């Protein structure tokens, strides 16, 4: 099974569980938002708009034993004695939550949750990392200050739909890959400028003041 197919199967399991939510709500799946500051697209697996709050749910359908090492902040999946590092789902989903928060102009609290579809979530204190079997209980018992009305739930759904963009998974992956390449090229430019003292864009002399480097001619500039 491919990584995408496995991910989709996990998302389908989450949707099936969320069918059991009894209170008035809206569930939006595979929502793509743009962070216009960075130019990066964010694909959110699920957004649950519920009286207890707005939940951004990232589904992980990993096999094996999943562990987190707080000393180096690395996530590891171990299958039959073979271990490999995996991406940080907490960091990924928090960036999704921040993007949604900005898209809604900071009016609502966003609650990021990472759900492990195979019920193999590592225990992490003070983090919303849960097993699929615990998802409904987590939502039903989540503490809230102000309960959203049915009207507010409808309004938030409309606001999210208004700011979401139409982008395929392929286009989303290409967007992320492109931005990673741009970031890599900018890093190499900075390394060259520091090592040679020459602007990588116009070959003029680089000037430095404290932690700031600036080209004397074309104004190429960066901070360490």
**pLDDT value of position 192:** 60
**pLDDT value of position 22:** 93
Domains of the chain by residue range: 3-167, 173-223
Per CATH, the number for 3-167 is 3.40.1350
How far is Cα 55 from Cα 57, in angstroms, rounded to an integer?
6
- Find where tokens 């699929």 sit: 132
Across-strand partners of 131? 116
- Find where tokens 């090492």 sit: 69
**pLDDT value of position 170:** 59
How far is Cα 58 from Cα 28, in angstroms, rounded to an integer?
12
Contacts for 11 with CB less than 8 Å, ≥ 6 apart: 29, 30, 45, 46, 59, 61
Pairing of strands 40-50, 53-60: antiparallel
Given a contact cutoff of 8 angstroms between Cβ atoms, the answer to whether 113 and 120 are in contact is no
Task: State the greatest distance between any 2 C-alpha atoms of the chain, in Å, as a whole number.
Answer: 66
Given a contact cutoff of 8 angstroms between Cβ atoms, the answer to whether 44 and 62 are in contact is no
How far is Cα 100 from Cα 34, in angstroms, rounded to an integer?
9
How far is Cα 113 from Cα 97, in angstroms, rounded to an integer?
9
How far is Cα 19 from Cα 93, in angstroms, rounded to an integer?
22
How far is Cα 224 from Cα 213, in angstroms, rounded to an integer?
8
Q: Indicate the SS3 state at residue 108.
A: coil
Q: Indicate the SS3 state at residue 189.
A: helix
How far is Cα 218 from Cα 193, in angstroms, rounded to an integer?
13
For helices 150-163 and 89-103, give the axis angle rounded to 10 degrees: 100
User: Nearest CA to 14 among 54, 60, 53, 65?
Assistant: 60
Q: pTM for this one?
A: 0.73
**Full pLDDT tens readout for the chain, 224 residues:** 555 577 789 999 999 999 999 999 999 999 999 877 667 778 899 999 999 999 999 999 999 999 998 888 889 999 988 999 988 898 888 888 988 998 999 899 999 999 999 999 998 876 789 999 999 999 999 998 889 999 999 999 999 999 988 765 656 555 556 556 555 556 566 666 667 787 777 778 888 887 788 888 887 777 76
């Amino acid at each position: 099974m491919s990584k995408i197919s496995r991910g989709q199967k996990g998302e389908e399991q989450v949707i099936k569980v969320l069918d059991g939510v009894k209170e008035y709500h809206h569930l939006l799946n595979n929502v793509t938002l743009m962070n216009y500051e960075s130019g990066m697209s964010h694909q959110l697996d699920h957004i649950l708009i519920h009286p207890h709050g707005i939940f951004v749910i990232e589904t992980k359908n990993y096999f094996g034993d999943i562990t987190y090492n707080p000393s180096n902040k690395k996530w590891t999946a171990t299958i039959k004695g073979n271990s490999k590092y995996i991406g940080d789902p907490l960091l990924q989903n928090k960036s999704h939550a921040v993007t949604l928060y900005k898209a809604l102009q900071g009016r609502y609290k966003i609650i990021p949750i990472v759900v492990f579809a195979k019920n193999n979530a590592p225990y992490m204190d003070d983090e919303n990392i849960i097993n699929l079997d615990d998802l409904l209980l987590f939502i039903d018992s989540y503490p809230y200050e102000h309960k959203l009305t049915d009207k507010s739930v409808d309004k938030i759904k409309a606001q999210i739909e208004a700011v979401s963009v139409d982008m395929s998974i392929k286009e989303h992956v290409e967007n992320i890959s492109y931005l990673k390449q741009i970031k890599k090229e900018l890093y190499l430019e900075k390394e060259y400028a520091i090592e040679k003292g020459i602007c990588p864009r116009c070959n003029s002399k680089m000037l430095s003041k404290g932690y700031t480097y600036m080209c004397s001619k074309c104004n190429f500039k960066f901070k360490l």
